Amino acid sequence: MSSDRTNVVAGAATVPEGANTAPAQPDPATPDVSKLRLEKIREYLVESLEQGDALQANLGATSSDLMLMGFRLKEAIEKAMADSSAPLARFEQLMPAIEGYLKVTRQIDRLAQLDRRLTDARSADGDRPKPR
């Protein structure tokens, strides 16, 4: 086969013959998105724990824990897909991890909605303490 054609194995495209499969070098001008994301999760945790209300502080802390867990799951899924020569075949094996990731992100959404409702309720009541 010529080097400018893509090999097809069982209906799935593979790397063209003779293609350079070495990982691309990151552009130094491009920010490290993973590092920025981790910094934002940490920032969210610190801001949450500085809140006076214990419930909201712990909701924020739990949310940041879940954000970190979700981020790590996403990284692991992406790495497994990238390391596979047949990503679609690997997809089925990764479904439990993908479903776990989706559950984590859904829980983050629920906690964010709860935090928003608590914040709105306290703002409407003039920050009066709620009976427990």
d(CA 24, CA 27): 9
Q: For residue 16, what pLDDT is reported?
A: 45
Residues 29, 63: Cα–Cα separation, whole Å? 31
Q: What is the pLDDT of residue 7?
A: 39
At residue 80, the pLDDT reads: 92
Which pLDDT belongs to residue 37? Answer: 95
The pLDDT value recorded for residue 13 is: 42
Is 85 exposed, middle or buried (CB count within 10 Å of its CB: 0-12, 13-18, 19+)? exposed
Query: What is the predicted pLDDT for the residue at 25?
Result: 62
pLDDT in tens, 98-128: 999 999 999 999 999 999 998 898 888 765 5
Task: Collect the ranges in the chain with pLDDT lower than 50.
Answer: 1-16, 18-21, 131-132
